[in-house]
Structure 1
Amino acid sequence: MATTQPAHPVEPALPGGLPAQPGPVGTIRYWAAAKAGAGTPEEPYAAGTLAEALDAARRRHAERPEFARVLLRCSFLVDGAPVGTRDHSTVQLAEGGTVEVLPPFAGG
Structure 2
Amino acid sequence: MAAVTIRYWAAAKAAAGIAEEPCTALTLAEALAGVRQRHPGELTRVLSRSSFLVDGAPVGTRDHETVRLAEGGTVEVLPPFAGG
Question: TM above 0.5, one fold?
Answer: yes
Look up the match of 2:80.
Answer: 104
Look up the match of 1:76.
Answer: 52
- 1:28, 1:42 → 2: CA distance? 5
- TM-score under structure 1 normalisation? 0.76
Look up the match of 1:7.
Answer: none
Tell me the amino acid that sits aligned with residue 35 of structure 2.
A
Q: Which runs of 5+ in 1 are unaligned?
A: 1-22
Higher-helix-fraction structure: 2
Note the alpha carbon deviations across 1:27-83, whole angstroms, 9 max, x for none. Answer: 000000000111100001100000000000110112xx1110000000000000000
4+ runs deviating over 4 angstroms: none
CA RMSD of aligned residues (A): 0.6
CA drift of 1:96 comes to 0.1
Identity %: 74
- TM-score under structure 2 normalisation? 0.97
Tell me the amino acid that sits aligned with residue 34 of structure 2.
A
Look up the match of 1:35.
Answer: 13
Q: How many residues align?
A: 84
Q: Which runs of 5+ in 2 are unaligned?
A: none
| Higher RCO (C-alpha under 8 Å, 6+ residues apart) | 2
